[in-house]
């Protein structure tokens, strides 16, 4: 008896073939004389010629081949290939820079083809991670080699990269904006945590408050951020004109004050909802048992209810933080600073690399916070044995 041949993994197969097509057919990098003019795109074959191009198709074909008759070992090999390919992308950029960029002002941009390839490789990685049932943490660890290579090589070999040039010309500003961004997010999440837990406890004590409370918070969540920032502008400007100590604190219609207020407003709904649900959902039997053991009310709350509710509360903090990171970017419009400043400056100057300098860190920040708090929630979830 022969064992039946496994069916091809269609997903990986398609990813590999589409990736190969994008690698061959789309413009991979672009070179621009300065930061404003649109660059000239180059396909891979125009950078390294036909012979070398054939060599670069090999890993794609290998992936497709491994997907054709999949097995666990083959998936592991495929995963290694994907990680190697991701690590090779910075090297490809360095090579292109060496071949194409001449002169101090010229800069290398990443064109559509390379973004598509990058994205498809990430998809392939997620697919393989899922098929191999690897934990999320391992998935993130697999990204370390490519990130490390970028980190080590960027100053030396990738200095022509447009994104890096944008960063270098305003590195102090960038760090300042990053700090502002984190400070605003931290302050908003911190304030909404305190207020949210307080509100959730009050709702448990006075059930009448639930309807009104959730009604108001839901309503607030519906209002678009840019509108809320705008609507806060006039009253806050008026307040700071009337009340001296508020003006002394730096409160005004634009800046951090309306941003923080709006951020806390948006953060309250997920925070209150999760805290409330978490505290309500604790099994009454467990509470009875704790009471039966002679625990006092406050002991029951601190030692039983709160620890059991903690994972869901943390989930609320995670949602809130990720949401706040994105909303803070919008707050740059009303002068609150943060990484959004680069996005809107870049859009205003039609300098796309500046837009990327703002948008990419925001994206990375959101993913990072999501991953870290997600991992923390998993660790704290009771009943999950190590």
**Integer angstrom CA distances of residue 36 from 27, 181, 203, 281, 355:** 19, 27, 55, 56, 12
Q: CB under 8 A: which stretch of 88-96, 150-158, 168-176, 233-241 binds other proteins?
A: 233-241
Per 3-state DSSP, the chain is made up of helix, strand and coil in percentages (nearest 5) of: 80, 5, 15
36 binds other proteins (CB under 8 A): no
Task: Residue 28: name the closest of 92, 124, 101 by CA.
Answer: 92
114 binds other proteins (CB under 8 A): no
Strand 27-32 to 107-110 pairing = antiparallel
58 binds other proteins (CB under 8 A): no
77 binds other proteins (CB under 8 A): no
325 binds other proteins (CB under 8 A): yes
Q: CB under 8 A: which stretch of 74-82, 98-106, 174-182, 347-355 binds other proteins?
A: 347-355
CB–CB of 330/226 below 8 Å?
Answer: yes
Euclidean distance between CA atoms 172 and 356, whole angstroms: 17
Q: Looking at beta carbons only, is 59 or 361 nearer to other proteins?
A: 361
- In this structure, what token pair is assigned to residue 294? 């002679």
225 binds other proteins (CB under 8 A): yes
Those residues whose C-beta lies under 8 Å from the C-beta of residue 370, and which sit 6 or more positions away, are: 318, 322
343 binds other proteins (CB under 8 A): yes
**Integer angstrom CA distances of residue 336 from 170, 186, 259, 379:** 18, 14, 6, 35
CB of 264 to other proteins, least distance (A): 17
Of 285-324, binders to other proteins (CB under 8 A) are 322
Of 126-155, binders to other proteins (CB under 8 A) are 126-127, 130-131
Site string for other proteins, 352-381 (x = CB under 8 A): x--xx-xxx-xx--xx--x-----------
Q: Looking at beta carbons only, is 15 or 44 nearer to other proteins?
A: 15
17 binds other proteins (CB under 8 A): no
CB–CB of 107/165 below 8 Å?
Answer: yes
Residue from the set 20, 189, 334, 336 that interacts with other proteins by CB under 8 A: 334
Q: Looking at beta carbons only, is 58 or 234 nearer to other proteins?
A: 234
CB–CB of 100/42 below 8 Å?
Answer: yes
Where do runs of H (alpha helix) occur along 281-351?
Answer: 284-292, 297-299, 306-331, 340-349
Residue from the set 213, 265, 337, 340 that interacts with other proteins by CB under 8 A: 340
CB of 237 to other proteins, least distance (A): 7
219 binds other proteins (CB under 8 A): yes
CB of 371 to other proteins, least distance (A): 9
Residue from the set 193, 329, 336, 341 that interacts with other proteins by CB under 8 A: 329
Number of residues that bind other proteins (CB under 8 A): 52
What contacts 24+ positions apart, CB below 8 Å, involve 22-25? 22/113, 22/116, 22/117, 22/120, 23/56, 23/57, 23/60, 23/113, 23/117, 24/53, 24/57, 25/113
Site residues (CB under 8 A) for other proteins?
Answer: 9-11, 112, 115, 123, 126-127, 130-131, 219, 222-231, 233-234, 237, 253-254, 322, 325-327, 329-330, 333-334, 340, 343-344, 346-348, 350, 352, 355-356, 358-360, 362-363, 366-367, 370
């Amino acid at each position: 008896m022969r064992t039946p041949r496994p069916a091809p993994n269609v997903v990986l197969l398609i990813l590999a073939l589409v990736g190969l097509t994008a690698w061959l057919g789309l413009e991979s990098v672009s070179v621009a004389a300065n930061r404003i003019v649109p660059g000239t795109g180059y396909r891979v074959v125009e950078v390294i010629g036909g012979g070398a191009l054939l060599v670069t198709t090999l890993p794609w074909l290998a992936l497709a081949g491994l997907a054709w008759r999949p097995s666990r070992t083959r998936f592991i090999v495929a995963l290694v290939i994907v990680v190697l390919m991701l690590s090779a992308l910075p090297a490809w950029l360095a090579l292109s820079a060496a071949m194409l960029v001449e002169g101090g002002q010229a800069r290398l941009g990443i064109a559509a083809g390379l973004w598509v390839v990058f994205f498809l490789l990430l998809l392939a990685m997620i697919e393989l991670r899922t098929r191999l049932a690897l934990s999320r943490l391992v998935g993130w660890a697999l990204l370390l080699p490519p990130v490390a290579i970028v980190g080590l090589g960027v100053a030396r070999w990738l200095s022509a990269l447009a994104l890096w040039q944008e960063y270098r010309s305003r590195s102090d500003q960038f760090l300042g904006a990053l700090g502002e961004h984190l400070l605003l997010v931290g302050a908003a999440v911190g304030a909404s945590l305190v207020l949210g837990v307080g509100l959730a406890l009050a709702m448990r004590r006075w059930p009448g408050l639930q309807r009104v409370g959730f009604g108001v918070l839901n309503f607030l969540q519906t209002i678009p951020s840019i509108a809320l920032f705008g609507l806060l502008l006039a009253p806050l400007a008026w307040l700071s004109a009337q009340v001296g100590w508020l003006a002394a604190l730096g409160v005004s219609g634009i800046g951090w004050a309306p941003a923080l207020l709006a951020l806390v407003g948006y953060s309250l709904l997920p925070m209150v909802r999760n805290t409330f649900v978490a505290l309500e959902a604790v099994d009454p039997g467990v509470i009875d048992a704790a009471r039966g053991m002679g625990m006092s009310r406050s002991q029951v709350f601190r030692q039983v209810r709160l620890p059991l509710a903690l994972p869901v509360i943390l989930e609320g903090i995670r949602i809130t933080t990720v949401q706040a990171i994105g909303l803070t970017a919008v707050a740059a419009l009303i002068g609150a600073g943060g990484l959004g400043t680069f996005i809107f400056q870049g859009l205003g100057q039609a300098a796309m690399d500046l837009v990327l300098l703002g948008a990419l860190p925001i994206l990375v920040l959101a993913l990072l916070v999501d991953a870290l708090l997600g991992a923390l929630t998993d660790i704290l979830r009771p009943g999950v044995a190590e």
